[in-house]
Structure 1
């Protein structure tokens, strides 16, 4: 018998944060058929916001990658809250990453690799996905990264 995704998270010394409540007029997840569209998640923990700052102006790539991974964990928390188990994830289909950065910051893809590499390490082939990584002038609450995803789930 294979380990569950949550067991694998534990072996990585990670755990799911509570699923965050919406900070605006939207829902965290919309399901249509077997696809979940997970709203943008920011680097939030039970202790509050993490990784506030701008890439290219004091936020290191390594810290921004950690922020992207935390966003990915929050995506998983939303999925678990919607379908009940991370083991229902059939595939990570698409990831869109937004990096709070200065106009001259060139490494948006490296930052969003924090989420992409995490999904691949957790799900293997099922974690490989299409992706966009873009720089933006600002993000909610001044966080460095926001990540959204489209995920296929099993019935």
Structure 2
């Protein structure tokens, strides 16, 4: 059970965060759950390569992954209903000279592998952004195959 794995990892899921504007937190279509863009808990503000280091960005991406898991649990009733992590896409709010976007997004990717094992292996892309909503350091959207 995924709940046991979360407990072993010391992860307590928060309540699912609400959308920041007029959109759905998630949409399920044809066995795929699309989770809208989420940011890290506490809403830190700033850019990677300016206010934040790569290591801090990794932590923010991991926190964001936990936010995503909370939305999934709310949507599905149990994370055991996740068949596979399909895609993770990160938007890193970064200084134009920042080059470690991939290392930042590893925070979320590593979490998905820890929680779901082989089912956590996924396709992904990461982009540098000139700005993102609320000046968050990262926004991540995701796609999951679900029962």
Q: Matches of 1:11 and 1:92 in 2, distance apart? A: 20
Q: Is 1:137 the equivalent of 2:118? A: no
- 1:44-103 superposed Cα distances (whole Å, 9 cap, x missing partner): 2xxx32x32211113011111111011111111111111100010100000001101011
Q: Which residue of 2 aligns with 1:126?
A: 119
Q: Is 1:95 the equivalent of 2:92? A: no
Q: Which residue of 1 aligns with 2:3?
A: 6
Give the TM-score normalised by the residue count of structure 1: 0.91
Q: Which residue of 2 aligns with 1:115?
A: 108
Tell me, what secondary structure is at the counterpart of 2:134?
helix
Give the TM-score normalised by the residue count of structure 2: 0.96
Cα displacement (A) at 1:30: 0.4
Q: Deviating runs (4+, > 2 A) in structure 1? A: none
May I ask how many residue pairs the two structures share in their alignment?
Answer: 147
Q: 1:72 aligns with which of 48, 65, 73?
A: 65
Q: Which residue of 2 aligns with 1:57?
A: 50
Tell me, what secondary structure is at the counterpart of 2:126?
strand
Q: Which residue of 2 aligns with 1:36?
A: 33
Instruction: Give unpaired runs (5+ residues) of structure 1.
Output: none
